[in-house]
Amino acid sequence: MFRQRQIRQKFEAALARAGALALRYAPVRGKAQRSLVGHIQLLQLALGLFVCLLAVSVVWWTSTRVSEDYFRKQAVQWLGKFDELSTPLYVSMDEATFSSIQKQVSEFREIAFLRYYDADGVTILAEYNADPTAYKGVPRLSQDQLTALRAMRGTDKPYLLDQSAANGFLIRASAPLWVRSIQSDGLLGFNLDAQGDEQRELLGFLELGLDFRQYRGQLVRNIAIGSGVIALLLLLSIVVGGRMLKRALLPLLALEKPLARLAAGDVDVKVESAGHREISAISTALNTTIGALKERDETLRRLADHDQLTGLLNRHCFAQVLESEATHIGWNGGSSALLFIDLDQFKLVNDTLGHAAGDRLLLQVAERLKANVREPDVVCRFGGDEFTVLARGVTVQGATNLAQSLIRALQNLHFVEGGQVFNICCTVGVTIIDSDRFTPDELLAQADMACYEAKSRGRNCFSVFAGGNGETDQMMLYIGWSQKIRNAIEHDEFVLHYQPIINMANGQAELYEVLLRMPDEGRAVRSPGAFLPVAERFGMMLDVDHWVIRNATKALAGFREAGRNVTFCINLSGHVFEDPRLVSCIRESLEANRLPPSSVVFEITEQVAIRYLDRANRRMREIMDIGCSFALDDFGAGFSSLTYIKRLPVDYIKIEGSFIENISRDSIDQSMVRSIVQIARTTGKQTIAEYVQDLKSLQMLRKLGADYAQGFYIGKPTGNLVLPGPTRLSVVKPGE
C-alpha cells in the first residue's frame, strides 16, 4: 500500500507540473488583452487535466480495491488446498510427505512461506521459505491469534488474514486444521446411517504467506502506461481542438478590427456577416448598432448646428459661418451683407393664441425666408422671433433690395389661427461685410443697431448701418459689455448678493434670494439690468445661468457648514428650458457641494413660464424629481391666469411688486393680493410678497395672509446673509 501511494503521488505531481507549465507558457498578454481562443484553450487544458487526474484516480482506486479483494480470495483458496494436503502430514509425520507438499508449493511464485504448527501451537512441525532472508522477520503466530483460531470452529470464515507484515505487500493467512470422525456404537457394527455425534479433533495450525508484489507491480506499470496514453491523447485532443476552435472562430476574430475602429469613434465601418448563426446574429446586431450610432451622430450634429423648431442654422453655427465669410472676404475681396430680422407681430400672436400658435408662425416665417433668398445665402434663427440672413456676394444696393424683398414676402404672409387672421410685419437691420476687421459679435451688433434704428422710425422697414460716430460708440459699448460678461464667466468675476425673505409666521429669515451683480470700475457693482440684455443679445444667458447655479450652490454649502440652515432662491432665464444640460448641471452642483435638493428653490418669471409653457412644465418636473422646488416670480405682471397656476408645478407664488408698493393705501391692491393668497392656498402653494418698503405694508400683508415677505424694509441685498432687524421681526410674531 505504501508503494502504491508513492507511485500515485508521483503521477499526480507530474500532472500538476504539466498544468503549471501550460499555464506559464500560455499566450496571455494581460487580463484585458487575453485572446478568446487562448482562454478557451486554457480552460480546455485545465478541464482535461482535471478529468484525466480524476479518471486515473478512479481507475487506480478501483483496480487497487479489485486486486486486493482478488488476492484475499486467492489466499482463502490456498488455505483450502493446503487443508486437504496437510492431514496426511499430521497422520504420518513423514518427511517425504512434506517434501511432496514443498515441491508443489515451490511452483507458485506468490507463496512466500508455509508453516505447520502442532495442536498446542508451540512447535513448528514443518516450514517452507521461498526466500529465507526476505521473510525471516515475519513473526510466528501469537497466542492471541492461536486462541482466535481455536474459537473459529463451526464459523463461516474459519481463518485469519493479516496484511501488516512486509509493508503491506504480504498477506498472512492462517487457519486451524481439524479432523472429523463419527462415534461408533460397537466394535464392528458401524452404521453410516446412524445419527451419532460427530467428533472434531484439532490436529494443528497452518500459516501461509502470500506475496503478490510482482502482480501488483505489473498492475502499477499497466496503469501508469494507460495514464500516459490518456495524457497523450488529452494533449493531442487539445492541440487538434485548438486548431478546430480557431478555424471555427475565424469569423468572430475578424470582428476585432472593426470593433477597434468603432471603439476609436470611427462609425464608417461595416461588419461582414459570415460563419455560424450566432456570429451572423452578432454581425447583424453590430451593423444595426453602427447604423444607430451614425444616425445619432448626424442628429447630434444637426441639433448642435440647427434650431430644433425651424431646422435653420442656430446662433452658434451662424457665428462660425459669419466668421468664415469675413475671413474669405479679407483674403479675396468683395462684399456680403448681414441682415438682422425682427418680427413685429410675434408677441401679439404668442400672447393671444399661446406658444403653440407662436411656434407654427415661426415655422411659416422660416419657410418664407428660405423661399425668398438665393441658394448661396444662409438663413438662421437667431433666437425667439429674430432671424438673420447672410447674403453672399452682394453690394449695398443688393442688400437693400433683399431687405425690401423679405419685408414684402412677410407682409404677404397671412397667418390664420383660431379663426383670426394676422398680418405679419418685420423690421430689418443691414450691415455690409467688406473686410475681416470686425468679429462676428461686432457684425451682429452693427446689424442689431441698424434694426433698432429702423424700429425707431416706425417698424416694417429697414435701415443700413452707416458707421457714424454715435452708432460706432453704441456698438463699441455693446461689444465692451459682451467682453466683460465673457471675462466674468470665464474668470468668476461675477458676485452674488443675497436678500432675506422672512416667514410671516415667526419672523425668521428662512429663504434668501440670490441676485447677480457685476463689478464695475472702482468699487461699484452693476445690477443685472445693465448687462443681462447684452448677454441675451450675444447668446450668453445659458452660460450666465450655469455660472449662477454652480456658484450659488457652492456659497450655500459654505453658509450651511457655518450653521446657517437656510434655503436659496435662484433665478433662471427662459433660455434654460431649451438647454438639455440644465438638469445635469443642477444635479452635479448639488452632489459636488453635498447639498440636499430641498435647500434650493428656482425662480422663473410668469412671462417666461407662459412663453415656454409646455417645455417649462416638462423641465420643471425633471428638476423637481431631483428634489428642488420652484417659485413663480412677478405673478401679476402678465396675464395672472388661474390655468397657468394650475398647470405649472410651482410651490411658491411671488406677488409682483406693483401690487405691494401702495398696498397700505390702495384697496384694489389689497383685494388683488387677498385673491392671489386665497388662490395660492386653494392650490396648495405659498405666497411671497415682494417690494415691501415700510412697516404698514408689512402689517397689511400679514393681515391679508401672505406667507413670506421680501423688500428693502426687510433687508437689502448684500454679499452676506444679513438677518432682519429686531424691530422688523417683532411685527410678524404671532399674537400681536
Q: What is the pLDDT of residues 192-243, one digit of tens each?
A: 555 555 677 787 888 888 777 777 777 777 777 877 787 788 778 877 877 7
Cα–Cα distance for residue pair 566/555, rounded to 1 Å: 11
- Residue 432's nearest CA partner among 408, 404, 478, 467 is 467
Per-residue pLDDT band at 709 (split at 50, 70, 90) = very high
Per-residue pLDDT band at 300 (split at 50, 70, 90) = low
Beta partners for residue 200, in sequence order: 180
Helices 541-561 and 528-537 meet at what angle, rounded to 10?
130
* Terminal CA-CA length for the chain: 105
Cα–Cα distance for residue pair 57/11, rounded to 1 Å: 10
pLDDT at 380: 96
The per-residue pLDDT for range 37-62, each reduced to its tens digit, is 677 767 777 777 787 788 777 877 77
Per-residue pLDDT band at 503 (split at 50, 70, 90) = very high
DSSP-derived secondary structure letter, 306: B
Per-residue pLDDT band at 469 (split at 50, 70, 90) = low
pLDDT at 11: 41
- Res 683 pLDDT > 50: yes
- Residue 369's nearest CA partner among 413, 337, 399 is 413
What are the C-alpha distances in Å from 324 to residues 319, 475, 486? Answer: 9, 21, 22
Sign of CA dihedral 619, 611, 500, 519: positive
Beta partners for residue 511, in sequence order: 501, 567
Lowest mean pLDDT among 405-419, 490-504, 566-580, 633-647: 633-647
DSSP-derived secondary structure letter, 140: P
Burial 5-42 (b: 16+ CB within 10 A, else e): eeebeebeeebeebbeebeeeeeeeeeeeebebeeebb
- Res 531 pLDDT > 50: yes
| Mean pLDDT score across all residues of the chain | 81
- Residue 577's nearest CA partner among 312, 350, 308 is 308
Cα–Cα distance for residue pair 113/131, rounded to 1 Å: 8
What are the C-alpha distances in Å from 125 to residues 86, 93, 131, 207, 691? Answer: 11, 8, 19, 12, 134
- Res 640 pLDDT > 60: no
Burial 523-534 (b: 16+ CB within 10 A, else e): eeeeeeeebbeb
Cα–Cα distance for residue pair 627/46, rounded to 1 Å: 54
Cα–Cα distance for residue pair 119/110, rounded to 1 Å: 27
**Mean pLDDT over residues 240-259, rounded?**
73
Helices 2-24 and 213-248 meet at what angle, rounded to 10?
20
Burial 245-256 (b: 16+ CB within 10 A, else e): bbeebebbeebe
Cβ–Cβ < 8 Å for 698, 732: yes
AA identity, residue 399: A
pLDDT at 6: 45
What are the C-alpha distances in Å from 645 to residues 511, 623, 662, 707? Answer: 22, 18, 25, 17
The larger pLDDT score, comparing residue 229 to residue 488, is at 488
Would you give the distance in Å from CA 607 to the centre of its chain?
40
DSSP-derived secondary structure letter, 516: E
**Mean pLDDT over residues 703-711, rounded?**
95
- Res 12 pLDDT > 60: no
Cα–Cα distance for residue pair 313/369, rounded to 1 Å: 13
Would you give the distance in Å from CA 65 to the centre of its chain?
57
Given strand 336-343, what is the order of strands in its sheet?
Answer: 378-383, 386-391, 336-343, 426-433, 462-464
Q: CA angle at residue 448 from 447 to 451, to 5 degrees?
A: 90
Would you give the distance in Å from CA 378 to the centre of its chain?
43
- Res 632 pLDDT > 60: yes
pLDDT at 68: 73
Cα–Cα distance for residue pair 322/441, rounded to 1 Å: 9
